[in-house]
Structures are given as structure tokens and as C-alpha cells.
């Protein structure tokens, strides 16, 4: 099997197992094995399939052509978007009713939840979109496209699942929040998310194998 075929198959396996185990198979498996063992199995399969994606992505190596040139404008846009993604990611751990085990929304949206009700999923999608834009190779379209599909389709699936579980309380919550970031206007993400996200962004881009973020210009 070629690395290209391995990447494609591992991406398909990652998406298929994620959506099957998150929705149609979740109930039967939880009843059969219990919530804790199910979460362990789910995490193990996710790690194996995602690990396969990473392995084959690197096995392909640098492809001999680029599908487009992001240019300086792309790098500047990517730098800003990656900062936003880091802020959303850090803020997603603060009072997020969409997290596994959360009891449900309490009060109105605040912090990053006033930006989008799925901050973690959007952080993944934004990261993948920026990576795809900058790398601009076919393997990145497959790899990053998989993450974007998982994140955004997963967010939509969370809405449906939470709606079935919580009913009117979830509908009241979604009526106050946006699915797509900033479509209900600008909002302050909160000091913890802003400072924590900025620190995560600076550290992650500094540790990146190639100069990324602001380090592209100041390193």
C-alpha cells in the first residue's frame, strides 16, 4: 500500500469510526459495556486512526508541487486566525455545555461561548484550514479536510444529540448563541481565554518545525 492510499484509508477510518461511535453505535455500546469502558474504547480507536493519519502524512514526505501559493497575505491571515483558534480552544474548557459530561447550559453565553457555541470544534477547523492554506499540497487537503469535516459535522451532530437529550433548554441556548463564530456580533472572549490562548499560540508557533505565526518575521 502506498503512503497516499494509507493516508486516504486512515482518514476514512477516522471519520467513519468517529461518527458511528458518536451517534448510531453509542447507545448500544454504552448499554453493553458501560459509559467508562466505552469512552476508553472510543479514545483508543480515535488515537489509532488519527495516529495512522499522522504516520502516512509524514511518510508521503514533501510533495514536488504546491496547489497554490499562500503568499505573505496568506501568512498574515493565517497568523491572525491561528491566534483566534488558540483563544477559542482555551476558552472552550470554561463552562462549555457541549463538553462530554456537562450538565447543560447555565445562564446566558459568555466568553468564547458568546462567539460560538462550539469553540473547541471551530478551533480545530480553523487550525486545519490555515494549515491547508499554507502547506498547499494534496496530502494536506486530505489530512486537513478530514479534520475540518470531523470538527464541523461533529459540531452539528452535537447540536442534534444535545437537542434530543435536553429539549427546550438546549433550544433556548442555541437561540442565544451562534454556530458560526461572530455571526451574532463581536464578543470579548474573556481574560483567561485571551491570555491563555495567546500564550498557547506563542508557544505552539515557536515550537513549530518551521517558522510560523509572528516568529516568521521576528525569529
What pLDDT, in 10s, does the model give residues 78-123? 999 999 999 999 999 988 877 766 666 777 788 999 999 999 999 9
What pLDDT, in 10s, does the model give residues 36-71? 888 899 999 999 999 999 999 999 998 888 899 988
- DSSP symbols for 57-119: HHHH-S-S--S---HHHHHHHHHHHHHHHHHHHHHTTSS-TTSTT-----SS--GGGGT-S-H
pLDDT given for residue 142 in this prediction: 96
Q: Are residues 56 and 144 in the same domain?
A: no
Q: Are residues 2 and 56 in the same domain?
A: yes
Question: Which domain range does residue 145 map to?
Answer: 66-218
Q: Are residues 147 and 212 in the same domain?
A: yes
Rounded to two decimals, what is the model's pTM? Answer: 0.90
Residue where a domain terminates, one of 61, 85, 100: 61
Q: Are residues 119 and 20 in the same domain?
A: no
Q: Are residues 45 and 103 in the same domain?
A: no
Domain total in the chain: 2
Q: Are residues 82 and 138 in the same domain?
A: yes
What pLDDT, in 10s, does the model give residues 122-167? 999 999 999 999 999 999 999 999 999 999 999 998 888 888 877 7
User: What's the whole-number average pLDDT of the chain?
Assistant: 90
Q: Are residues 56 and 9 in the same domain?
A: yes
Amino acid at each position: 500500500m502506498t503512503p497516499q492510499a494509507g493516508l486516504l484509508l486512515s482518514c476514512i477510518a477516522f471519520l467513519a469510526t468517529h461518527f458511528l461511535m458518536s451517534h448510531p453505535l453509542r447507545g448500544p455500546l454504552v448499554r453493553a459495556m458501560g459509559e467508562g469502558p466505552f469512552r476508553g474504547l472510543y479514545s483508543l480507536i480515535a488515537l489509532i486512526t488519527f495516529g495512522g493519519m499522522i504516520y502516512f502524512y509524514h511518510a508521503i514526505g514533501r510533495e514536488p508541487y504546491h496547489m497554490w501559493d499562500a503568499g505573505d497575505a496568506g501568512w498574515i491571515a493565517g497568523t491572525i486566525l491561528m491566534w483566534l483558534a488558540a483563544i477559542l480552544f482555551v476558552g472552550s474548557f470554561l463552562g462549555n455545555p457541549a463538553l462530554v459530561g456537562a450538565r447543560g447550559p447555565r445562564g446566558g453565553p459568555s466568553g468564547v461561548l458568546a462567539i460560538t457555541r462550539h469553540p473547541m470544534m471551530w478551533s480545530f477547523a480553523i487550525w486545519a484550514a490555515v494549515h491547508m492554506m499554507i502547506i498547499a499540497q494534496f496530502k494536506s487537503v486530505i489530512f486537513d479536510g478530514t479534520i475540518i469535516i470531523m470538527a464541523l459535522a461533529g459540531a452539528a451532530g452535537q447540536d442534534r444529540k444535545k437537542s434530543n437529550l435536553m429539549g427546550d433548554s438546549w433550544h433556548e441556548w442555541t437561540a442565544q448563541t451562534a454556530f458560526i463564530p461572530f455571526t451574532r456580533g463581536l464578543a470579548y472572549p474573556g481574560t483567561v481565554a485571551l491570555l491563555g490562548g495567546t500564550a498557547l499560540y506563542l508557544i505552539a508557533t515557536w515550537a513549530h518545525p518551521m517558522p510560523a505565526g509572528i516568529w516568521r518575521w521576528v525569529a
